[in-house]
Amino acid sequence: MNDRMFDSPVFVKSGNSLIQEIACIEDALEFLYEWPKNRRGPIYDTALR
One digit per residue, the tens of pLDDT, for the chain of length 49 reads 466 678 899 999 877 778 999 999 999 999 999 999 999 999 999 999 9
- Its pTM stands at 0.76
pLDDT score of 30: 94
Q: Tell me what pLDDT residue 6 has.
A: 85
Q: Domain extents for the chain?
A: 5-48
CB atoms within 10 A of CB 6: 14
Residue pair 30/14 in contact (Cβ under 8 Å)? The answer is: no
What pLDDT does 5 receive?
78
How far is the C-alpha of 5 from the C-alpha of 19, rounded, in Å? 19
Return the pLDDT at 39. 92
